[in-house]
A and B are shown apart, each in its own frame.
Chain A
Amino acid sequence: MLEGKFEEASLLKKIVEAMKDCVSSCNFNCTENGISVQAVDNSRVLLISLLIEKDTFEEYRCDRNITLGIGLGSFSKIIGNGANSDYLTIQAEDDADTLGIIFEDKVKDKISEYNLKLLDIDADLLEVDAMETDATITLPSADFAKICKDMKTLSESLQITVTKDSAKFQSAGEIGSGSVVIKPKTDIDHPEESITISLDKPIDLSFGSKYLSDIIKATSLSQKVTIKLTEDSPGVFEYKLPSGYLRFYLAPKFDE
């Protein structure tokens, strides 16, 4: 049996909102250590890797490994029925064909229960764990979201170049061109505003703006985003959870 209780429904809401426009359905793999998901979008350009560790939950138990096939649009509708501050418990029997979703209002004496029909999803898993990294940038997630939105007004591609002491984001299209350069900065009073850049090799990569638009839907999950880049390899965009992460692997564009 699986039972996981979130202190606030808002966390699961944010996770599902960040995933549902990229993949319509995916398997949630539940073990005694927590819940993980790997899913690839239909065009096989963007991969989502989610880990919700056991410690994220107020209470967690999973007696036997369970795979829950979940339609994210339907899941989003049901979890949208709870208030952000409610306790949210997900519950499934070992051979369940539904997922129980229970909201508890912390003030009123009110409990709401829903059942989501589970799906049988056949999906392959990609080996993404052994990637090397040439450059790592950590910056405020809201800043990264604004850069992606601003550059998307110019072009369907965003070029990222990283040198020893700066990262440059630039786009060029029919109406013109633009660029944003960021440099490392330590803000002691507001550590969430700090920017770090570490570099083994200079980077010059281009990514599709429409996929970046999907990635930045995770902005509300974390104040920071970490971008790991390697020449001629997918970019990794990581939003940390209180215990775990939501990562996106985005295949780069290349010149013919």
Chain B
Amino acid sequence: TGTQGRLDKFFVVK
């Protein structure tokens, strides 16, 4: 049912 994405792929560290 698909692979779970990670937030680090979408957001940069401030």
Interface residues of A (CB under 8 A from B): 40, 43-47, 124-128, 155-157, 173, 206, 208, 233-234, 249, 251-256
Q: Which of B1, B6, B9, B14 has the most CB of A within 10 A?
A: B1
Query: How many contacts between A and B, using CB within 8 angstroms?
Result: 62
Q: Give the secondary structure class of A's interface.
A: loop
B4 touches A126 (CB 8 A): no
6 nearest CB pairs, A to B: A253-B2, A126-B11, A251-B5, A157-B1, A125-B14, A124-B13
Total number of B residues with any Cβ neighbor in A under 8 Å: 14
Q: How far is the CA of A256 from the CA of B11 in the complex (A)?
A: 21
B12 CB to nearest chain A CB (Å)? 5
A255 touches B2 (CB 8 A): yes
Q: How far is the CA of A46 from the CA of B12 in the complex (A)?
A: 15
With a CB–CB cut-off of 8 A, which chain A residues contact B14? Answer: 124-127
A139 CB to nearest chain B CB (Å)? 24
